[in-house]
Amino acid sequence: MTVTAAPTGVRAVDRPAPPGALRIGLARIGLELRLYLRDPGQVVFSFAYPVIMLLIFGSVFGGETTGPDVRFEDYFLAGIAATGIMLTSFQAVGIAIAEERERGDLGRLQLLGTPPAAYVIGKAGQVVVTTAAQLALLLTVASLAYDVPMPSDVGRWLTFGWVALLGILAGTVLGIAVSPFVGSARAASAGITGFSVVLQFFSGVFFVFAELPTWMQQVAAVFPLKWLTQGMRSVFLPDRAAAGEVAGSWEHGTTALVLGAWVIIGVVVCVRTFRWRRGEG
Partner 1 sequence: MTTTQIQPAVRVRGLVKRYGGRAVVDGLDLDVHVGEVFALLGPNGAGKTTTVEILEGLRRRDGGEVRVLGADPATGDRAWRARIGVVAQTTGDGNALTVRETLDHFAAYHSRSEETDELIAAVGLTESAGTRAARLSGGQRRRLEVALSMQGRPELLFLDEPTTGLDPVARRQFWSVLQRLRSGGTTILLTTHYLDEAAHLADQVGVIDAGRLADVAPPDEMGGDLRLRSTVRWREDGGFRTVVTTEPAVVLRDLLNTGPRADLPDLTVTRPSLEEVYLQLVGAAPVAETGTVPSSTDVQGALR
Query: 116-146 vs 92-103: helix axis angle to the nearest 10?
Result: 140
Figure out which of the listed residues 62, 92, 129, 280 binds partner 1, where binding follows CB under 8 A: 280
| Type of residue found at 153 | D
Query: Which of these segments, 6-14, 135-143, 156-164, 266-274, binds partner 1 (CB under 8 A)?
Result: 6-14
CA gap 142, 147 in Å, rounded: 6
CA separation for the pair 278, 181 (Å, rounded): 10
Q: Which is nearer to partner 1, 107 or 260 (CB)?
A: 107
x-or-dash string of contact with partner 1, 115-154, rule CB under 8 A: x---------------------------------------
Stretch (H or E) spanning 249: none
Nearer to partner 1 by C-beta: 111 or 154? 111
Min dist. Cβ of residue 263 to partner 1 (A): 27
Smallest distance, Å, CB 201 to partner 1? 34
Give the CA distances from residue 139 to residues 54, 77, 147, 173, in Å, rounded to whole numbers and listed in that order.
10, 8, 10, 25
Smallest gap, in angstroms, from Cβ of residue 276 to partner 1? 9
The residue among 91 and 114 lying less far from partner 1, judged by its C-beta, is 114
Stretch in the footprint of partner 1 (CB under 8 A) among 15-23, 162-170, 187-195, 239-247: 15-23
Residue pair 32/122 in contact (Cβ under 8 Å)? The answer is: yes
**What's the closest the beta carbon of residue 15 comes to partner 1, in angstroms?**
6
- Site for partner 1, residues 80 to 119, rule: CB under 8 A: 100, 102-105, 107-108, 110-115
**Burial class for 187, CB neighbours closer than 10 Å (0-12, 13-18, 19+):** exposed
Is 180 an interacting residue with respect to partner 1 (CB under 8 A)?
no
Residues 217-276 that bind partner 1 (CB under 8 A): none
Instruction: Count the Cβ atoms, other than its own, within 10 Å of residue 176.
Output: 25
Q: Which residues contact 139 (CB under 8 A, 6 or more apart)?
A: 77, 81, 150
Give least dist CB 173 to partner 1, A: 23
Q: Are strands 70-71 and 65-66 parallel, antiparallel or unpaired?
A: antiparallel
- Least Å distance between CB 12 and partner 1? 6
CA distances from 235 to 163, 174, 194, 239, 261 (A): 9, 24, 28, 9, 22
Binding residues for partner 1 (CB under 8 A): 1-10, 12, 15-19, 23-24, 27, 30-31, 34-35, 38-39, 100, 102-105, 107-108, 110-115, 277, 280-281
